[in-house]
Amino acid sequence: MRVLQSFILALCMGLFCVCAPASAQSPTIPAQAWEAYKAKFLDASGRIIDNANGGISHSEGQGYGLLLAYLANNPSDFEQIWYFTRTELLLRDDGLAVWKWDPTVTPHVTDTNNASDGDILIAYALAMAGSSWRKQNYLTAATKIAEALLSNVVVKSGGRTILLPGAEGFMAPGRKDGPVVNPSYLIFEAIPVMAVLAPSDAWQTLTDDGMALLRDMQFGPRKLPADWVSLNRHPQPAEGFDPEFGYNAIRIPLYLARAGVTDKALLNRLTTGMTAGDGAPATFDLPSGRPKQSLPDPGYRIVNDVVACVTRGTKIPASSRQFAPSLYYPSTLQLLGLAFVGEKHPECL
């Protein structure tokens, strides 16, 4: 385990995160911003509340909460979130987390399938915190989740290595147009850490094939990826889902930027395509290219702002720098964007 810890520490020096002993680590999320976030979304049990989705909690939210608590350098809040996560969500026999927890019903777990992006976020945050704060139990838990991801949802299909969105329901023959993927579930910055935790060449192939798919997914007049994509023959919007660039996909450019991707053509195609006539990001109907819903919240706007910073050196507007949490999802994206720019591109602030 000491060897694993050393590898993660060395790896982190080349990634976005700053991995150092807790006494030396500087938070990339200011205490005031983290306090505002947790006052809005973190309850006493340690669950992150999705206030735009009926007050439920999910593995994605717990993973985001862990990552943000780590970036805020707040071990006590991290442990609070981890306690809820491990006791209420890590219930599956395969080592992955159930994805949905609803406070209004009993039992609270209403869907026992996993969501692979949530699992990646949880494992990634545990690995970062474990290496920075010298917490062997976090590293052990992160390793188990990474191994479970590799065994259950990182699969080869049609000559590609892909990430299934969940362990059940996304492959043929149960799903005729399977495999189905969600391109926003690929958290590229975390994949090298997964490869340290659960060594396999499959992780690098997953990154390479995932990037190739993003370059190929140019649906409709706006040339955008869909939230849900069938890879049964050639990539196309999956059956049974609206053929849209939606709330899932909106975070893809932010994930690419945070992972250090410098492909200006890809980044600019995505942000240009996802911006409506009013200058705000939006969700889009892919066949027609028509906007479905404008997304003016600073947490959505910051995705374009981060890409403009990375590709053109454009400063982040004051409206995106000011953090006043509203809804769980855009507020989370805003903190991830601000943390990244503050660490890697302070000239844009």
DSSP label at residue 87: I
Choose the catalytic residue: 50, 77, 117, 177: 117
CA dihedral (4, 66, 50, 271) positive or negative: negative
Question: What are the residues facing 294 on neighbouring strands?
Answer: 282
Q: Is 50 a catalytic residue?
A: no
Choose the catalytic residue: 50, 60, 77, 305: 60
Distances (CA, A) of 3 to 70, 129, 174: 22, 16, 42
CA distance 340 to 349: 11
Q: Is 244 a catalytic residue?
A: no
Contact 299, 339 (CB under 8 A): no
DSSP label at residue 146: H
Q: Long-range pairs for 290-296 at CB < 8 Å and ≥24 separation?
A: 292/244, 292/246, 295/250, 295/330
Residues with catalytic annotation? 60, 117
